[in-house]
Structures are given as C-alpha cells and as structure tokens.
Structure 1
Amino acid sequence: MSEYKLVATSAMGLESIVADEVKALGFNTTSDNGKIYFQGDETAIAKTNMWLRVADRVRIIAGEFHATTFDDLFEQTKAIPWERFLPVDAAFPVAGKSVKSTLYSVPDCQAIVKKAIVERLKMAYKRIGFLDESGPLFKLEVSILKDKVTLTIDSSGTGLHKRGYRVGQGDAPLKETLAAALVKLTRWNPDRPFVDPFCGSGTIAIEAAMFGQNIAPGYNREFLSEQWPWIKKSVWDQVREEVEDVANYDQPLAITGFDVDPRMVKVAQENAMEAGFMDLIQFQQRDVRDLTVEGLNGVMVGNPPYGERLGEIEEAEDITRVLGRIMKEHPSWSVYMLSSLENFETMYGKKATKKRKLFNGFIRTDFYQYWGQKQ
C-alpha cells in the first residue's frame, strides 16, 4: 500500500461537517475553503468514497508548486512521477481553472499540462510516438490560485451526491449531499420520529433513513477508481464487505414525508423503493396547512418553497406562518428549516435557537434551528 495526499471537496459552509466525517473514518484533517485534506492509502480512497455523505468528491493530489510562466508549468508538471498513477494506456483528459494568477489562459494551461504528462509517460514507459489512451480513465485537473498550481486526479467519477437511488426529481431538487448535511446538523437519532413536511422527491427522508440504518451512501453505485489497476479489487471487496457488516437493516424507523403535490409524492415513493426503504418511509400527499404531528421529541427538517416572485414570496411567507403556529403546539419537537426568506423568523413567530448560513446551489440560505424542550 502507498500513501497519498488526498482532498475531499465540499460545498461552501459544509467543510466542518465533511472534516468530522473524514475524522470519524480515522484520518487527521486540515481544512481550507471547500477542501478537507488528509493522508491515506488505497483503502482510504475506497473507504472515503464509500462513506462520505456530505463531500462532493475525493481527489488525489499528484503535485503542488508555484508557476508564473508556461515553462515553469511544463517542467514542474513533467517532474511529477505520473507513472505512479497512470498506466501506459491511461486515458487522461485535463480540465482546468485559474483564479488571480499570471497564467490565466485555462486552455493553454490544460494543453501544457497534458503535453508535459505525455512526455513524462513516454520517458517512463520508453515509448516513441503517441500514447493511445485506450485504457482506464483518469480525470485530471489543473487548478491555479494566486500562481499556486495544484494537479489532482478525481477518484470518484460521478459526484458523490449521485447515490444511485434517484429515479425521478422535481424542478428544484435538493442535492443529496446537502440533504445529508441537514440531517447531520439536527443530531437526530433513529429512536426519534422524523418528519419532512415539504418532501419533494424524498431526498431528506431517504438520507435520514440511510443515516438511521448506518448504510453507506455509496453502497449502490460505482466509482471511477474501481477501474484503476493499482487499486486491487480486493480493496473494494473488503470495503463493501464492511459496509454490509455494519449496516443495521433491522433498525426500526419512524420517518414521514409530506408534499402538497401528489406527483412528487409518487416520485418520492419510487426513489425510496430504489433505495430499499419503501416499507420504512411513509410518504403522503398533504398541504402543510393540514399537517398533524404525532409523538414527542421528534425532529422536523424541511426545505420549504422560497418564492422568487412577488406572489410566490407571499405564499412562502404564509406557509412559514402556518408552520410556526402548528409547531408552537409541539414544544418537544425540534424544527430545522432551510430558507432564503430574510424575514423567516418574523413569519415563523419565533427567533431561531441557532442559524447557519448555507448555499443551496447558488442560492444563499439560512438553516433555521429551533431546539425542542425534551419531554
């Protein structure tokens, strides 16, 4: 087993949650904007891809250096031992980005990095002429920030939010990684009732069920690095075996999702079926105005309509007002709502115990947290 410098990427505002996840898997971390760094071997690559609920991707850092000229970029890229990562027949497209840097032409940077790697591989593998790139895929990225170059290889492939259970979605679906973050922030445990009154395609409820039964978010999908020759199949087999060993399929769950749109309820049911939770999550068509809450010490998590035009904003405010009135009658319940309404607390009728700035896509939102009085 070799040691690699790895980075788990995350959406802005979720770094601390991802760092906690990485630490829980046994790794020491350091964090920067949207990046959580750690060291690990091939098993670490497989395990973090399989288990990280909130991270976007797991990347391998192949090299880091400063460059202000194309010659610098070429020579320092060529000096990296790419044969350690890329077999002779590797397919390796190079993506790029450059921010506040002397080398600002991204297409030129991509082309130079590609050429430097080709030269290195031809030298390492004693090849003359072209490399055919007919083998396994390695997605490379050259990222330049303030003249610091970071060259990474994506080990995930499709983003980690793609769990493999979403067969349908609404107009503005909540990303699975953000939904998982919302569940984690509530500190909910499966002994308590869980309700999403605005369930849409069921993402929050399904992520809660996966968390409640300790099911790895990557159990139902494949990863790009599974095709790489230097990560043995036995590594992946062992990680998948561990996933099965620790899953608690017998854990009872009281999870309910409501939505005013019957079509979305059907989509949520189909997604839950694909995830294996059809009998564990109850989805029902219901307007929030008809919401009934049962039990004590429950957790309510939702992503209510934000409203972007005047009539929609008024409707979103009315929904918030109604929700606040209903939940006032259930003081033992904790309520967590993600909203872009700046007057959310006024409409809800109560100041939040805590709120956290989060981004839902490019929309700036706050996660309003009302902690219940346990009974």
Structure 2
Amino acid sequence: MDYTIIATTTFGIEAITAKELKNLGYEDLTVEDGKVMFSGDEMDIAIANTWLRTAERILIKVASFKAESFEELFQGTKKVPWGDIIPINGNMHVVGKSIKSKLFSVPDCQSIVKKAVVESMKLKYKKDWFTEDGPEYKIEVALLKDIVTLTIDTTGPGLHKRGYRENSGGAPLKETLAAALVLISKWEPSKSLADVCCGSGTILIEAAMIGKNMAPGLNRTFICEEWPGADKEMWEQVRDGARKAVNKEEFRLLGSDIDTWVLKTATDNAIKAGVNEYIAFQKLPMNEFSSKQKYGYIISNPPYGERIGEEREVDQICRDFGKIHSQLNCWSVFVITPHKDFEKLFGQKSNKNRKLYNGKIQCYYYQYISA
C-alpha cells in the first residue's frame, strides 16, 4: 500500500534531509518548513526510519482539510476510515499543534479529534467502547492557517534516540542535529576531523557512523513494528541490508575537552555506538590543539555560557577558535553557537552561516571553509 510519508525535521535542515532521501533513491520530494514529504510503501517507511540521520520522525499522512470550527474538525476527522487503520484494541493517543489558526486551543483540538476517531471506529467495529490495551497509534492533529493535517507516527521515540547515549555534557546536541552539522560540512573520511569541545562525543560519533556508512536506526526498534500485519521479514531484510552496507573505511577522529567526566562519557558512548576504534579522545584545552595534518576539519558545539559569570569564558572560546583557524589556515572550521558576537571575537567573517535550533535555542552555524 502506498502512503504519503512525512519526514519531520528541525527548522533549518529540511534541505539536508531531502538530500538524504535523494541519496536513498527517492524523487518527487516536497520540502516545507519542518518536513519533507514523499510517496512510499511499508518498506520505504522501514528504510526511512532505519537510514535517515537528520529526520526527527517518520509520519504517515492520513488526511488534510480546512477547518475553522470544531464541527468542521470533527466531521473532517470522522470521514477518515480509522477502523481500516487502527485495530479494535488500538491505543489511540492524540497530540497536536496549532499555528496561525482559528482553532488555537490545542487540548480542545486533541479532544475533538479523539472523539471523532472513536466515532469512526464505532462504525467499523459496531462497538460503543474500546479497551485501547493494544499497540499504540499516535495521531497528530496539526493546524497551519486553518488547514488540518492528520498523521500517524511510525517511529515512536524520536529518531535521535540511536541507543548509544545515556549521559551527556552541558548544552547537549541532539544526534540528528549533530549528524546534520557533519553533512553540511561535507567532511569525508579521507580528511582529518576534530572536535575541540567534544563533550559527550556526539558530533564525532555521528561523523564516524557517516564515515562507516552505519545506518543510525539499525540497533533500535520502531513503534509501527508492533502494529498488526507488520512484515517482520521485510524489516529484517532492511536491517540485513544495512548491516551489509557498512564499509571498510579506516580513519581516526580526534576529540578533546577539559572535563574528565564527559570524556569518559564520550568514550562509553562511542563504545555503545560501535565506533570507538575510530575516535581518539584526550583531555586538552582547546587553545593547545594542534595538528601536523595540513588539511582538516573542526566541527564543534562549544559551551553557551548560560550560567552567570561564564560570559568571559565563552568569549575566550570564540577567540580561541579564531587562533586555531589562523594557525591551521588550511583547515575548515564549523561552529554552532547562539553567541551574537562570534564572528567579531573569532576575528573574521564566516564564509557562510546558517540559522539552526538546538532545542529551543536559536543558534547560527558559522562556516569557515578553506579552499
């Protein structure tokens, strides 16, 4: 069965997710704020969940219609043959969001949608009450300028939940965003790569997985696998293909930090991710970083200085990045930070910068690209 599939993303990396999908062989993509849409079947849902590095979730689009009143929302939702999608004991969980719409109360919209889904289910199953003790179906009602989009989540816990990170340092970076930073940089395994503020190692671990062509979702399961009719053989086929796709590339990434605890955490995370042999972690102040390699990349998510009294330390870190770049002038430097004066403190205007969000924090990804 063919579906309209939606890969949701954080704002600013939609084009990166679209490029991932193109590299996986998908065409006729529709890119909008926070999502990329394409057509596919159950195997495509499995491939997207298993392989996409920068997407947040994989959703199935169920319906789209205009609603300016709760009655229109109710009737539009009820028209969907939910009984053909959800089993009689399905656990129906409704989430929602509303942007620039007359129906702005999200809790009310969630309640209306749940009632409409149940009414539709009654028509199918000829029952007035459902136990909801079976597999989970998370339905999202999203309103944008009075247009309702109803979707069902196939992922479960977000795609950033790779399974290797139990602990993290300060200002933790989502695995999906870390992967996006690496992909934007266009780093290749033949070039050196370092993170001089590596924290719990997320950027380097994601880079190592990219370098080895390791599917980020290989070692986890997804909520749609528990649905009735899920093809377990098909899922195993996708996973087997992913295991065989891991390449024989050899490289060594460098991670440094001044915090002994986060370095231990980074090492533990790399071991769980299966990439520890490709990353060397060391305790080292960033202003002491050097390399004999002529060409390379630095990709970092330095501390943001959210605590009182940390402003001077953060300013100095920005200056230190500028010093590293001047000393290693054939290296490219990529830094994500919310610091508004970063370029001034770095001492040079970036070749490119890109607005990204680390959680709810608006940041810029400053890119100093050497020829």
TM-score interval (norm. to shorter): over 0.9
* Code of the aligned partner of 2:140: E
8 Å contact kept, 1:165–1:220: no
Residues 1:191 and 1:80: Cα distance change in structure 2 (over 3 Å): same
TM-score, with normalisation over the residues of structure 2?
A: 0.96
Distance change in 2, residues 1:84/1:25 (3 Å): farther
> Aligned residue for 2:102?
102
Runs of at least 4 residues of structure 1 off by over 3 A? 308-311
Residue by residue over 1:75-109, the C-alpha shift from the partner in whole angstroms, topping out at 9 and shown as x without a partner, is 22111121332112111111122233222332332
Aligned match of 1:370 in 361, 368, 371? 368
Once the two structures are TM-superposed, the CA of residue 278 in structure 1 deviates from its matched residue by 1.9
Matched residues in 2 for 1:304 and 1:105: separation? 38
Aligned to 1:89: 89
Q: Which residue of 1 aligns with 2:58?
A: 58
Instruction: Look up the match of 1:42.
Output: 42
Q: What SS is found at the alignment partner of 2:189?
A: coil
Provide closer, same or farther for how the CA distance between residues 74 and 315 of structure 1 changes in structure 2, counting only shifts above 3 A: same
Name the counterpart of 1:70: 70
Does the 8 Å CA contact 2:155/2:224 hold for their aligned counterparts? yes
Give, in whole Å, the separation in 1 of the partners of 2:158 and 2:245.
24
| C-alpha distance in 2 between matches for 1:319 and 1:71 | 56
* Letter paired with 1:181: A
Residue 218 (structure 2) aligns with: 219
**Residues 168, 270 of structure 1: 8 Å contact kept:** no
The share of aligned pairs that are identical, in percent, is: 46
The amino acid across from 2:192 in the alignment is: P
Aligned residue number for residue 180 of structure 2? 181
Deviation per CA, 1:187-232, whole angstroms, max 9, x where unpaired? 0111111100000000000000000000001011111111112331
Rate the CA distance shift 1:93–1:226 in 2: closer, same or farther, 3 A. same
2:127 aligned residue: 128
Deviation for aligned residue 1:299: 0.9
Does the 8 Å contact 2:170/2:199 carry over to 1?
no
1:116-195 superposed matches below 5 A: 116-125=116-125, 127-195=126-194
Q: Give the corresponding residue for 1:253.
A: 251
Distance, in Å, in 1 between the alignment partners of 2:171 and 2:323 is: 26
Match of 1:322 in 2: 320
Check whether the contact 2:96–2:110 (CA below 8 A) recurs between aligned residues. Answer: yes
Alpha-carbon offset, residue 310 of structure 1: 6.5
After superposition, what is the alpha-carbon deviation per residue over 1:302-349, rounded to whole angstroms, capped at 9, x for unaligned?
111222456422211212222322331222211111122222222222
Q: Is the 8 A contact 1:195 1:256 kept in 2?
A: yes
User: Could you tell me which amino acid in structure 2 is paired with residue 73 of structure 1?
Assistant: L
- Alignment of 1:20 onto 2:15: no
SS of the equivalent of 1:138 reads strand
CA distance in 1, matches of 2:357, 2:272: 28
- In the alignment, which residue of structure 2 is the partner of 1:115? 115
Amino acid in structure 1 at the alignment position of 2:118: V
- Is the Cα contact below 8 Å between 1:167 and 1:270 reproduced in 2? no
Q: Does the residue aligned with 1:315 lie in a helix, a strand or coil?
A: helix
2:283 pairs with one of 266, 282, 285: 285
Asked if 1 retains the 8 angstrom alpha-carbon contact of 2:197 and 2:257, the reply is yes
The one-letter code of the counterpart of 1:197 is V
The separation in 2 between residues aligned to 1:58 and 1:155, in whole angstroms, is 6
Matches of 1:120 and 1:288 in 2, distance apart? Answer: 60
Deviation at 1:111, TM superposition (A): 2.0
What is the CA–CA distance in structure 1 between the aligned matches of 2:263 and 2:363, rounded to whole Å?
A: 25
Q: 2:353 aligns with which of 338, 341, 355?
A: 355
Q: Secondary structure at the match of 1:289?
A: helix
- Shift, 1:70, TM fit: 2.3
CA distance in 2: counterparts of 1:372 and 1:4, whole angstroms: 43
Letter in 1 for 2:41: D
Distance 2:279 2:307 in 1: 33
Aligned residues: 370
Residues 171, 304 of structure 2: 8 Å contact kept: no
Q: Provide, for residues 95-148 of structure 1, a one-character-per-residue CA deviation record: whole Å limited to 9, x for no partner.
A: 1222332223323322221122112222223x3231111211111111122221
| Structure 2 unpaired stretches of 5+ | none
SS at match of 2:276: coil
Question: Is the contact between residue 359 and residue 365 of structure 1 (CA under 8 Å) also seen in structure 2?
Answer: yes
Q: Which amino acid aligns with 1:342?
A: K
SS of 1:346's partner is helix
Q: Partner amino acid for 1:42?
A: E
- Cα RMSD after superposing both structures: 1.5
SS at match of 2:327: coil
Q: Which amino acid aligns with 2:299?
A: V
Give the Cα separation in 1 of the matches to 2:317 and 2:77. Answer: 55
1:196 aligns with 2:195: yes
Residue 207 of structure 2 is matched in structure 1 by: 208
Q: Which amino acid aligns with 1:112?
A: I
